[in-house]
Chains A and B, each alone.
Chain A
Amino acid sequence: MIDIRICLISTLCIIGLIILTGCNDQKKGKEVTPTLSWYVFNEPSGAFAIAARNCSENSQNTYQIKLVPLPADADRQREQLVRRLAAGDPSIDIIGMDVIWTAEFAQAGWILPWRRETMKEAKADRLAAPLQSVMYRDEMWGIPYTANAQLLWYRTDRIEEAPATWDEMIHLAETLGESGTIQAQGERYEGLTAFFISLLATAGGSVLDTHNERILLAQQPTMQALSTMAHFANSPAADRTLSTAREDQARLAFETGNSSFMVNYTFVWSSIQQNVPEIAPHIGWARWPSLSTDKPGRTTIGGINLAVSAHSRYAQLAFQAAVCLASEKHQRIAATLGGLPPTITALYDDTEIRETFPFADVLRATLRDAVQRPQTPLYNDVSLAISRTLHPMRDIEPDKDYIRLRDAISRALNSKGLL
């Protein structure tokens, strides 16, 4: 028989171990200089790291910024962030917010609003579309840092003039045969939603009404958008792997040389210069294709805004740090080093920027016309509803899917849908 004593001793040891483990997780105690944790996706060129270092140095020891990398995928970034935010984690200070999270984070009380003075300053020198993306209920919830928008990229050695509309592009691509593939993003993720919303806006429609509370989805523009998607996905010009393609797959496929068209973000430019210098001189750019010749195409705006977490222990410092990080100097670095378009209007006329972005004018025009994705706290559910209904693109039937789409989005807006 085992002694009771042995039992008791073992149990006590176990409890002791448990407590010890728990103690090991204590966050570090007070530090001399507060460290602000900046949660943002892992930017490969190091532009964000440089910005963080600069701002830390220039702060005269009031704070140190530490970069905490998030996954590359926007969906995954959000997953990681919202969990921590919902858990009230005090270790998040500055958030590199994707433009689509503003309403959700603000409504849930996870981020802090900015002061009116800062808002006025920001309004003075920043582009309108990024500014709009940080507004929710008349308050500013972040400061625009970088922007992003899609352009049409095409092979100038195969096409004389960039097509103006989707139908024109598909037709041109089909006549080119094997090398005429159009690269786009068709996987079941945020990119597909963005694609749909871009087409919808180009057709003159909108997902939600102006108050972002109820569904609009007027029939005519929606049907037009859906038909275009179906037409594109079923055309021989679409890539075979369209339904699992994200931005990077599209880029890789374009770089192999077998495609003549691509709708993608501006990061592809530096990648092409580096990876396939033989194709680089033959790359042209144009506005996102339209649906009719009288109006230009509209595409969704992307980018990163900097927000301050509501649970941060150093909110005031975080605001200061964020202003520094999003300042002109660092937007310039993000642009020239990281290929990320700036949000400060003046920079689009700057020589250095224009060298990095020879397409700066087209980009600026695109950003001017850019469309916001629905700014509702339930955007994540709405986006899921859209991407799930419309995936895979080749199976879209405009009449049926119009109704399914309305249905799915209603359920999402009522937070009742099982998504």
Chain B
Amino acid sequence: MPQRKEQHKRRRNEWYQAWLLCAPAVLVLILVTAYPILYAIWLSFFQYDLRFPDQRIFIGLDNYINILTSAVWWQALSNTLILTVSSVTLELMLAFPLALIMYHTLLWRYAVRAATLLPYVITTVVAAFAWKFAFDPTTGFINALLGMEQAWLTQRWSSFLVIILTEIWKTTPFMALMLLAGLTLVPNELIQAARVDGTNAWQRFIKITVPMVKPAILVAVLFRTLDAFRIFDTVFVLTSGAQDTETVSMVGYNTLIVSLNLGLGSAVSVLIFISMLVISVLFIKGFNIKNL
């Protein structure tokens, strides 16, 4: 009996220690994440504009109704979805060959890996400016290179193209790295055995490599999708949302920081948050991700 009490006490001690260790981190996160989001939800039920600071009126769900009946919101949502789906799909398609090359390469291994890290760690704003200037009809080299006369950022679809290109350029390496990590998990013996059995490279790829890399792919795609949904920096620099390329984050920023309409802007933020939750849930349920 005293032994079990002893064990019990020790476990309790362990719990207290653990909570104490986690406390600072949890406190900070509550302060900077949980509290603001609760505050945002609270604000979203008010009409609160900092240009008329004395008027703070409770209006219930009016802000939400306003947003959901606004063409601007739906346009932005569809833009965001277009950008997200295109970027992530194209990235995945590019990341695979990239990962395979990085996996098999021996001589240039370090150079290639360092090179693929660069786009990822460069400030998004810098990358966006680089591509903005590249596609500029008077200053840029793209038009000269392709022999075209296009004013890329003046039309909707060509603007989308430039935005997606910038995004892909920047984050494909990250996807490739994730895939590479997954590839290293594929046991070589399996591949060799299959080779001996007479399968060709494509079959080996589909039947062995892909299924084993699948969990890594799914996690990477989920993170990238959520990340792409919040796209802001690139669009801000390239078009500022003009030519109908506005994303939901831009709508949020404009309403909150430019128009100082905190009530309406908070409602936008909450809607964005909800959309991301929906995406995550759909993803996790849909692909049956268990080990998160």
A contacts B directly (C-beta below 8 A): yes
Chain A interface residues (CB < 8 Å from chain B): 1-2, 4, 7, 11, 14, 75, 79, 82-83, 86, 104, 107-109, 187-188, 240-241, 243-244, 252, 377-378, 380-381, 384, 391-392, 415-419
Q: In the complex the two chains form, is B260's CB within 8 Å of A244's CB?
A: no
Q: Provided the pairs A86-B50, A108-B53 are in contact, do residues A419 and B254 lie with their beta carbons within 8 angstroms?
A: yes
CB-nearest residue of chain B to A87: B50
Chain B residues whose CB sits within 8 angstroms of the CB of A82 once the complex forms: 50-51, 260
Q: In the complex the two chains form, is B20's CB within 8 Å of A109's CB?
A: no
Chain A residues whose CB sits within 8 angstroms of the CB of B275 once the complex forms: none
Chain B residues whose CB sits within 8 angstroms of the CB of A108 once the complex forms: 50-53
Q: In the complex the two chains form, is A418's CB within 8 Å of B49's CB?
A: no
Given B53, B73, B257, which contacts A109 in the complex, CB threshold below 8 Å? B53
Q: Provided the pairs A252-B138, A418-B72 are in contact, do residues A244 and B52 lie with their beta carbons within 8 angstroms?
A: no
Q: B288 in the interface, Cβ–Cβ < 8 Å?
A: no
Q: B153 in the interface, Cβ–Cβ < 8 Å?
A: yes
Q: In the complex the two chains form, is B243's CB within 8 Å of A86's CB?
A: no
Q: In the complex the two chains form, is B20's CB within 8 Å of A4's CB?
A: yes
Q: B105 in the interface, Cβ–Cβ < 8 Å?
A: no
Q: In the complex the two chains form, is B24's CB within 8 Å of A14's CB?
A: yes
Bitwise, B42-79 to A at CB < 8 A (1) or not (0) is: 00000101111100000000000011001011000000
Q: In the complex the two chains form, is A241's CB within 8 Å of B51's CB?
A: no
Given A83, A241, A243, which contacts B257 in the complex, CB threshold below 8 Å? A83
Given B154, B251, B255, B257, which contacts A79 in the complex, CB threshold below 8 Å? B257
Given pairs A108-B52, A377-B51, 9 additional interface contacts (CB within 8 A): A7-B21, A86-B50, A240-B137, A244-B154, A378-B51, A415-B49, A417-B66, A418-B73, A418-B268
For the complex, give the distance between the alpha carbons of A418 and B24 in Å: 39
Given B21, B240, B260, B264, which contacts A418 in the complex, CB threshold below 8 Å? B264
Q: Provided the pairs A7-B20, A381-B259 are in contact, do residues A417 and B151 lie with their beta carbons within 8 angstroms?
A: no
Q: In the complex the two chains form, is B66's CB within 8 Å of A243's CB?
A: no
CB-nearest residue of chain B to A15: B24
Bitwise, B229-243 to A at CB < 8 A (1) or not (0) is: 000000000001011
Q: In the complex the two chains form, is B20's CB within 8 Å of A392's CB?
A: no
CB-nearest residue of chain B to A11: B24
For the complex, give the distance between the alpha carbons of A75 and B258 in Å: 9
Given A11, A107, A188, A380, which contacts B259 in the complex, CB threshold below 8 Å? A380
> 8 pairs across A/B with beta carbons < 8 Å?
A82-B260, A83-B257, A188-B242, A240-B149, A243-B243, A244-B154, A416-B66, A418-B66
Q: In the complex the two chains form, is B243's CB within 8 Å of A392's CB?
A: yes
A74 to chain B, nearest CB (A): 12
Chain B residues whose CB sits within 8 angstroms of the CB of A377 once the complex forms: 51-52
Given B20, B67, B242, B258, which contacts A391 in the complex, CB threshold below 8 Å? B242
Q: B7 in the interface, Cβ–Cβ < 8 Å?
A: no
Q: In the complex the two chains form, is A244's CB within 8 Å of B257's CB?
A: no
Chain B residues whose CB sits within 8 angstroms of the CB of A381 once the complex forms: 259
Chain A residues whose CB sits within 8 angstroms of the CB of B280 once the complex forms: none
B235 to chain A, nearest CB (A): 13
Chain A residues whose CB sits within 8 angstroms of the CB of B154 once the complex forms: 240-241, 243-244, 392
Q: Please provide the chain B residues from 32 to 50 with a CB less than 8 Å away from any CB of chain A in the complex.
A: 47, 49-50
CB-nearest residue of chain A to B262: A86
Chain A residues whose CB sits within 8 angstroms of the CB of B257 once the complex forms: 79, 83
B139 to chain A, nearest CB (A): 10
Q: In the complex the two chains form, is B70's CB within 8 Å of A244's CB?
A: no
Chain A residues whose CB sits within 8 angstroms of the CB of B137 once the complex forms: 240-241
Q: Please provide the chain B residues from 61 to 113 with a CB less than 8 Å away from any CB of chain A in the complex.
A: 66-67, 70, 72-73
Q: In the complex the two chains form, is B50's CB within 8 Å of A244's CB?
A: no
Q: B124 in the interface, Cβ–Cβ < 8 Å?
A: no
Q: In the complex the two chains form, is B70's CB within 8 Å of A417's CB?
A: yes
B76 to chain A, nearest CB (A): 9
For the complex, give the distance between the alpha carbons of A241 and B159 in Å: 13
Chain A residues whose CB sits within 8 angstroms of the CB of B20 once the complex forms: 4, 7
Chain A residues whose CB sits within 8 angstroms of the CB of B52 once the complex forms: 107-108, 377, 415
B268 to chain A, nearest CB (A): 8
Q: In the complex the two chains form, is B67's CB within 8 Å of A418's CB?
A: yes
Q: In the complex the two chains form, is B51's CB within 8 Å of A418's CB?
A: no
Q: In the complex the two chains form, is B260's CB within 8 Å of A86's CB?
A: yes
Given A187, A188, A419, which contacts B72 in the complex, CB threshold below 8 Å? A419
CB-nearest residue of chain B to A18: B28
Among B24, B70, B260, the one with the most A-chain Cβ atoms within 10 Å of its Cβ is B260
Q: B17 in the interface, Cβ–Cβ < 8 Å?
A: yes
For the complex, give the distance between the alpha carbons of A112 and B181 in Å: 62
